A = this chain, B = another copy of it.
Amino acid sequence: MLPDKQDAFGHEINDYFINKSGFEIIERNDGFFTVGLGPSFYFLEHHEWQESEKEAIKYATGSVLDIGCGAGRHALYLQEQGLDVLGVDVSPLALEVCRKRGLKKTRTLSITQLDRKLGIFDTILMLGNNFCLVGNVKRARWLLNKFHRMTRDSALIIAQTRDPYPTTVQEHLAYHALNRKAGKMSGETRIRVRYKKHVTPWIDFLMVSKDEMKGLLEGTRWEVKKLLEDGHSLYIAILGKRGQ
């Protein structure tokens, strides 16, 4: 269980839920600081979503596992549509907000703690860039194989991520280069979120290009069924089981 001191996500979400204001500070392990889209972004209503998100959510069916559900915007929308949604998140306070907003099924779990005991799903939702939570290639394949056993044959993973390459920010390009020098993928990024005195543990965040996504899926039993573009660098991959 994440200690309250580390629940920066939960506190930014809870404060926004109460006061309709807030911020999200992102620290990278090379000392680069920036400001994230949250928390207002995590509360956007369906009509305010990116077009690609609206398109992607249509692929959700049946029993849905929303990984990193945050303030619950996707989970709540699908629950309203009559789907059976389980929202999981590492943040106890974010899940408390989800429940206050009406989400019926929640579990406080990190992505690595998910297993078959949670049920068998038709859809795994990794929107809001949550496919980045796979962390690195090795862990991504381990997780994808686990997800394979937690899902029906016709299941889909709705996976949003970011292509790290279309950037001109010098600090990002330098970070990519250091990663490659260390034998990592360019888009392997270690970050933590700060909010007031709260700071999350370091999070391994993997950004991949569309080609790298395909490479990552080699050696798993998933393949890209469809790509939905988000413009500049964001995109959503609809993953299905090979041979389905």
Q: How far is the CB of A168 from chain B (nearest CB, A)?
A: 11
Taking a contact as CB atoms under 8 Å apart, the answer to whether A196 and B35 are in contact is no
Query: Which residues from chain B contact A32 at a C-beta distance below 8 Å?
Result: 196-197
Alpha-carbon distance A30/B194, docked complex (angstroms): 13
Alpha-carbon distance A33/B34, docked complex (angstroms): 12
Q: How far is the CB of A143 from chain B (nearest CB, A)?
A: 31
Query: Which residues from chain B contact A34 at a C-beta distance below 8 Å?
Result: 23, 196
Copies in the complex: 2
Query: Which residues from chain B contact A205 at a C-beta distance below 8 Å?
Result: none
Alpha-carbon distance A30/B5, docked complex (angstroms): 13
Residue of B nearest to A195 (CB): B33
Residue of B nearest to A23 (CB): B35
Answer yes or no: A31 CB below 8 A from chain B CBs.
yes
Answer yes or no: A204 CB below 8 A from chain B CBs.
no
Alpha-carbon distance A227/B15, docked complex (angstroms): 34
Taking a contact as CB atoms under 8 Å apart, the answer to whether A35 and B25 are in contact is yes
Answer yes or no: A171 CB below 8 A from chain B CBs.
yes
Query: Which residues from chain B contact A35 at a C-beta distance below 8 Å?
Result: 23, 25, 35
Q: List 11 A-B contacts (CB under 8 A).
A: A23-B34, A23-B35, A25-B25, A25-B35, A30-B197, A31-B197, A31-B199, A33-B196, A33-B199, A34-B196, A171-B196
| Residues of chain A whose beta carbon lies under 8 Å from any beta carbon of chain B | 23, 25, 30-35, 171, 194-197, 199
